[in-house]
Every structure is written in structure tokens, then in C-alpha cells.
Amino acid sequence: MKLSITLNGEERQFEVAANITLLSLLRNEAGCFSVKHGCESGECGACAVILDGRIVNSCILLAAQADEREVLTVEGLPWVMRNLRAASFQGKEPAEENPVARPSGDPVEVISASRSSFQNPDAFSREDLPSGYETLHPIQQAFVDTHAIQCGYCTPGMILSILTLFAEKGLIELPSAKRRMRTASIRKKLKSKARPPSEQEIRDSLAGNLCRCTGYVKPVQAVRQAAEKLLL
């Protein structure tokens, strides 16, 4: 069956079997390796993605359920920053129209090229990377600064969970097609009502992301730090 999905700001076409999960499509067809293969039962949150502004576990969704919808993974955070002109971008503009670059060719070639680049970091020079990757999203940077990343397997899901929490609190705005037509005055009003989440709200947001390494102390610290920076 043919699917049309807006993935990380780019409209993509896929042809998959009816029983393929969204997790399998994102990893095997789209090359989004931040989406991790975990429990396959929707319990661990390693495969979490943002679907139309809401956090979901992609292992228990069929790819067909994402047809004509918007999916955001960690690979799309440079696109989020570009569209929202985030202050953390430090005035740098991506040189390309689409900041998230991906290899051309059929899905097999895409997967092969992506995996080889992860196995060999020297495969691509810094000049070959899209400029959007030169600056991390404030949430990502906070995880680095507070040493909230251990093995890193659960980290992408955590970051996306917090992204949706911050959107609910007015700290950020996810660039969904349903929201892009908002005027500047409405956005300013929403920003004025922004408030940092409480520690309990942070822990509730991360409750769906199981972690064996951090004990959740450092991730909570990272979220609080990111919230403070976004409120400046």
C-alpha cells in the first residue's frame, strides 16, 4: 500500500505492506535510526515519536495509521529550530532549503549509507553535514551539559517526550501544519503565558520512557535547565 507522510517537515512517499509497523517504516525505509527497537509492546518508550503533536510509541502503530499525518523524530529537530527561528540557533541559517539531508536513491541505499556513516564517523567531513546539525536543540544541549545521557538508547524518546511537554507549557511551538498559520501576535501571546513544568510534571512526562542507567535524576535536571533557558 502507498502512504504519504510528512516526516520531519518533508513530504515522503512510501510503499509498504499493510502489516508493517510505523517503527519498521521509520528505521528500515526512512533511515530514522534515533527511533529505537525496544520492547515491541509499547511499554519502554524507546521507539517514541511525535505524531501530529502527540507522543506515541511507534512499535504498536501500523505505518498505515500515519498516512496523511505528520511525524517528528529526533532527526527533525534541526527542522524545528529552522522553522521556529529558535534563539538557540544563534543566528546561523542553514545553507540548504531542507536542513535535514538524506542520501538519495532507493531505501536500501539510504539505509546502507546511513549505517556506514555511523560506523565510520570520518566517512563524511564536517563540510558535508547540513549546517542545522552544528547547533543542538536546547533540550539536547541540556542533556549533554548535565550528563543525562548514559548508554543513550532511551534518550531520543525522552527528548521527544519533553518536547511535547514544553509545547503544552508554551515554552516552544511544534511546527505542525495545523499551527503554521498563527500570526506573530498570537505566538507572542502564547509565549507570554509560558511557564516551566514542575518536577512532578517532568517525571510524569518521562514515565513512559524506561531507563536502566540514569535513575532519572540527571534527565530531570536537564529538563529543568532547558526550561530555564527557553524562558529567558
Name the fold adopted by 138-231.
DNA polymerase; domain 1 (1.10.150)
Give per-residue pLDDT as tens, 144-195.
999 999 999 999 999 999 999 999 998 988 876 555 545 455 555 555 678 8
Does the reported pTM lie above 0.85? no
Largest CA distance in the chain: 47
* 99/102 Cα distance (integer angstroms): 10
Q: What percent of the chain has pLDDT over 70?
A: 70
Which one, of 84, 77, 63, 55, lies nearest residue 21 by Cα? 63
